[in-house]
Amino acid sequence: MKTVKVLGTGCAKCKSSYDHVLEAIRITGVEASVEKIEDIEEMMRYNVLTTPVLMIDEVAVIKGRVASVAEIAELLKR
């Protein structure tokens, strides 16, 4: 099972990223746990400078932009 985290302050881009992750998981059927992290102190532990950040299995794969559902689906299949 994959672990997916969306780090962001709760802005529109961060919410879109989270929604795109859920849609990509639904489309691909990949088994994954999804966590949305909005706490600034917790985000700083990941050395985040720009949001949103998409992490898959503790690796930051997208930083500072909203990835498309298709792009996230491809990343989940790896």
Indicate which residues carry an active-site annotation.
Answer: 11, 14
What tokens does 20 get? 């795109």
Strands of 32-37's sheet, edge to edge?
32-37, 2-7, 53-56, 59-63
